[in-house]
Structures are given as C-alpha cells and as structure tokens.
C-alpha cells in the first residue's frame, strides 16, 4: 500500500467502483429497471436466473442501507482480504458466501415460517442484493488466516446477535455466510498445505534416490 497505493488492491477498488456505478444508475430514469434485470436476485425468481445474476448482485447496493456504508466496508474489508488472502481467494470467498445466502433464501421460503429458520412466502419477493454477506465472510476468513480470534469472534457474535434481535432475511444470510466462511477457512487449513507437503516429500525422495544412484555409480 505504501508503494503502490490503490494499485495494490485492484479488486477492492473495482468492487467499490461497481457499487458506486450501480447506485448511480439505479437512480437514473429507467436505470432501476436495468439494474433489476441484470443484478437483482429474489427467491421468487427461477434458480437458473438467480444464479446468473448472483455475481452482479454482490455489487448492487441494498435499498435499506446507505450506499456510503457499502462503499466503505467493501473498500476496507475487500482491500485487507486482497492483501492477506490474495485476489483469487478473495473473489472465491465473496462469491461462494453470497451464493450460499442466495440458496438459503430459497430454502427458507420453501420450509415456511413454521420452521425457526424459515420465512413467509412474501419474503421471496424481497430484493436480495448487496455486498454485506461477502464482507462478513471475508472478515471471518481474514481473522482466521491472521489468527485474530477476538476480531473473528466479535464479527460472528455481532452478526448472530443481529439475527436474533432483528430476525430478517439479511441477518440470517449473514449467519449463513459466517458458517460458509468457517467451512472454507477450515478446509484451507486442513487441505491447503497437503499437496505442497506431498510434492515436497516426492521431491526429497527423488533427490535421495538420485544421490544414492550417483554414490553407487
């Protein structure tokens, strides 16, 4: 950051710019319909259409939150994640956890309000967009990677507390994003260094065999 400034976090800058762009476009004449057609996801939509729109839905700001909040949290959290986790991992975690929330919304509507984690049918028509689930998931993964356990626990406790006090679709999607992020982080912890260790072992064994052959010769 000291050397390259914002050029060191191009993914975070691009994501912030896209959120700002969609925020401006949806307030222009005819812009809301355009944004709805390409980036707005609802549980009432067909699954294939929702999956097609999910990547862009991450950058469409939620209507009930100020856009400056979305811009600030994306630039900060995406930027830190891009530096700590890498660009590809950041993008994968953001999309995977957003997709998990999108799928959960459909399941929650199907199981109905009788279930503790279900919702009434009218929730299927709520606009389900915004970067908040991705931001929460990236914060958890960064905390895991850097062993910042207190920060990770604080983020998780805050989101779970919000879901308990104000039960709504967005709150429970944040909890789903946390669970998905923990699974991704744990899988990376268990399997992330497995193949490098295997390759290192194969390399060491090959070098040992070659040295033994040279000694024998």
Average pLDDT, the chain: 86
The structure tokens listed for 156 are: 């998780």
pLDDT at 43: 86
pLDDT surpassing 70 at residue 189: yes
Q: Regarding predicted confidence, which is higher, 107 or 203?
A: 107
Maximum CA pair distance of the chain?
Answer: 82
Could you give the CA distance from residue 24 to residue 43 in angstroms, rounded to a whole number? 25
CA angle 48, 53, 58 (to 5 degrees): 135
- Residue 28, CA distances (Å) to 10, 22, 23, 32, 69 in order: 27, 10, 9, 7, 21
Buried b (16+ CB within 10 A) or exposed e, 167-201: eebbbbbbbbbbbbbbebbeebeeeeeeeeeeeee
The structure tokens listed for 151 are: 């920060």
pLDDT at 200: 64
CA angle 197, 201, 206 (to 5 degrees): 150
Q: What is the pLDDT of residues 102-152, one digit of tens each?
A: 999 999 988 888 887 888 888 888 888 889 899 999 999 999 999 999 999
- Residue 133, CA distances (Å) to 146, 172, 175, 197, 208 in order: 20, 10, 8, 33, 49
pTM score, whole prediction: 0.84
Q: Regarding predicted confidence, which is higher, 200 or 81?
A: 81
pLDDT at 94: 93
In contact, 44 and 125? CB cutoff 8 Å: yes
In the chain, where the domains are located: 5-216
Tokens 């991705």 -> residue: 134
Could you give the CA distance from residue 59 to residue 109 in angstroms, rounded to a whole number? 24
Q: What is the pLDDT of residues 14-27, one digit of tens each?
A: 999 999 999 999 88
Domain 5-216 of CATH type 3.40.50: no
pLDDT band per the 50, 70, 90 thresholds, residue 191: confident
């Amino acid at each position: 950051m000291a050397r390259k400034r914002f050029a060191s976090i191009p993914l975070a800058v691009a994501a912030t710019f896209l959120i700002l762009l969609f925020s401006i476009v949806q307030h222009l004449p005819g812009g809301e319909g355009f944004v709805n057609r390409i980036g707005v996801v609802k549980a009432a939509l067909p699954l294939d259409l929702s999956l097609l729109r999910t990547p862009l839905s991450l950058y469409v700001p939620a209507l009930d939150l100020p856009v400056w909040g979305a811009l600030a949290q994306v630039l900060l959290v995406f930027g830190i994640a891009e530096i700590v986790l890498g660009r590809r991992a950041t993008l994968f975690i953001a999309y995977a956890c957003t997709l998990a929330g999108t799928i959960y919304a459909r399941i929650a509507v199907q199981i109905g309000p009788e279930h503790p984690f279900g919702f009434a049918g009218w929730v299927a028509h709520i606009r389900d967009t915004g970067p908040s689930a991705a931001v929460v998931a990236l914060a958890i993964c960064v905390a895991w990677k850097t062993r910042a356990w207190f920060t990770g626990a604080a983020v998780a406790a805050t989101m779970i507390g919000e879901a308990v006090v104000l039960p709504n679709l967005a709150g429970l999607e944040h909890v789903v994003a946390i669970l998905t992020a923990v699974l991704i982080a744990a899988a990376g912890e268990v399997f992330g260094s497995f193949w490098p260790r295997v390759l290192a072992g194969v390399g060491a064994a090959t070098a040992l065999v070659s040295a033994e052959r040279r000694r024998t010769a």
